Structures are given as C-alpha cells and as structure tokens.
Amino acid sequence: MKFKSIIITLSVFLGITVLPCFSAEQYDIQYKKALIKSSGHSEYTLKNMKAVIGEQELEKVIKKYNNKPYKYWSDKKVFPDELGLQERTYRAGLHSHTTASDGKLTPEETLNQAAEYANKVKKRHPFEKYPMIVAITDHYNTEGCQQAIDIIQKNPQKYKNIKVLLGMETTALTKFPSDDDEGTRVHILLWAINPYDKKMTEMNFLPYEELIKDAQQLDFGVVGLAHPLRYYEEKYRKNPEITKKLITEYFDSYVSMKKDKFLFAEAYYQPYRFSISPELYDYVIKEANRCGLIKTGSQDSHGNTIFHNNTVKK
C-alpha cells in the first residue's frame, strides 16, 4: 500500500495521470457498480447484479465458443427441428430485440424464456457454469436494457442460471466497397454497455469509422460487426466476388481501429445457413479467422420467442 501511495504522489507531482488497474473480475464489478449508480436506485445491490455479464467475463466465454457454432444454433436445419434445444447444445443468443424496438417480446418475457431454458440445461448439466446467455440489443435505444436491470434486481433468484448481456444495435454508413461511390450501410452491435449513458443515443447512423471510434471511447462496452454479409449480399447478390471484396475491406478496416477491446463478428448468424451460398458463408468465417476476430452468432430474434419457435420440449 505504501508503494502505491508513493506512485500516486509522484504522479501528481509530475502531472501524470495514473488510471486504476483492475483485474478482469474487478473491471466487471466496477461496471456493475456503475450500472447501479446510473440507475438512480440506491437500494439496488451488487449481489443482485450477478445475472448481468460484463465484457471481461463475456470475452472468456465467447472465446470458448469461437469454433463451436452449435453453441449459437437452436436447430439443425429448419426451425421446427429444435435440435439444439432438444439436445441442450444451444447456449447463447447474443442478438435479440424486444418491444423497446421492433421485437414482439417484452424484456421480461425475453428473460423468462432464457431462464426457463437455462433451468432445463442446468437440470441436465448441474455443473455447467453458463447454461444460457441472452442479449437485449434493441435498435437505437437502451430502454429494454434498463428494464432488464430493474427486473433482475427485483427477482434475482429467478434469473440465477442465466447471464444477461446489455447492448444495442445501430446502423453505420461505410465507404465499402472502395469502387462503389455509394458505399453500403451496415449494422453494428454494442455489448456490455451502460444503458443509462446518454452517449448511446448519439451513436446512430454515423459514418462507420466514426461510430467505431466513438464506441471504443465509452467507459464500458465493446463494439462488433452484426451479420456482416446482410446488406452486402443483398446489394451485390449477383456478384459474389464483389461481396468478398467488401468483407475483406470491412474486416481489415475494423481491425485497424482496434484499441484495447476484443473484436468480434457475427459469423455464425443463423439465417445465413439457409439464405446465402455456402461459399459466402465459409468466406466470412475464413476472413474472421484471418483477422483474428472472435466468431459469434445469434438468432437475431424479433418474434414471439428467442428460439424462433414457440415451444421448448422437455
């Protein structure tokens, strides 16, 4: 402690700013404390924030899932199969919309569905640490995330087997491909954010490079690429080579702006498996590997279930 005090004294004397150095666990604790303070609810406790996942813990989990796409898939081929749900291999829905934007489920219904599934996984695999991670990533607002914090605080025991990822999905405008004057719009995912931060409402429809830089300056949160092929493939459907060029330029630009946060791309985006060519699907995975991006996935849920099906069989 004396050594630390000496360092701080010297830094003040020399005019050097010394930032606190937190371990991964301590950083996520600071994140949860910031959420409580920002919520304005002094009665909220750190103990009751256990279901909320911070970026450090999230990074550890998704790195383990990096080469395991089935962790993000609720089915094998078509939604009625429910294979991932029946076999309890499904573990993470990192892109979900609620009634706070264009989804049909309320934030509470989203958490309840995740908790119900996680409880069944826990029953079959009692020692598994992460039965289910569910994200709330509404378009252009964080109201659903704020509601989620209130819901968890009021009944933490109900959500003891899930991890809730607070996020937002936004739109950015790119200059890619470089030989197209119009460029292409893309969707960006922000995870492990402080949903009370007023800066979040300013991070919509910005130029792509500006949005990434602004996101990396937030006190909390990571920024990544949602369904990177979606708009590219729609616009250049008849020319897969242009689409590949787009992905390469897009990923390279994203990597070039990295600071101290992990980078990710939604390479295992479930609708891709049924809507694009295997060639393009494999290319996204290949480029993510080349760039060192963590490969994540999702259902991109908008409907009456986070599983794309109304029933979860026992």
Given a cut of 50, the residues of the chain with pLDDT beneath it are 1-19, 78-81, 309-314
SS3 211: helix
DSSP character for 158?
A: G
pLDDT for res 176:
83
Give me Rg for the CA atoms of the chain. 20
For CA atoms 143, 145, 147, 150, the dihedral sign is: negative
DSSP character for 286?
A: H
pLDDT for res 272:
73
From CA 78, how far away is CA 51, in angstroms rounded?
A: 31
- Closest residue by Cα to residue 148 from 42, 303, 27, 44: 44
From CA 65, how far away is CA 53, in angstroms rounded?
A: 16
Q: Structure pTM? A: 0.88
From CA 86, how far away is CA 224, in angstroms rounded?
A: 30
Domain range summary for the chain, segments of one domain joined by +: 23-298
Question: Per residue in 227-280, pLDDT tens?
Answer: 988 766 677 777 888 888 889 999 999 999 988 889 999 999 877 766 777 888
In CATH terms, 23-298 corresponds, of 3.40.50.150, 3.30.70.260, 3.65.10.10, 3.20.20.140, to: 3.20.20.140
- Closest residue by Cα to residue 161 from 62, 64, 91, 68: 91
pLDDT for res 108:
98
Segment (H or E) for 207:
strand 206-207
DSSP character for 125?
A: S
Q: Identify the burial level of 62 via C-beta atoms within 10 angstroms of its C-beta, where 0-12 means exposed, 13-18 middle and 19 or more buried.
A: buried
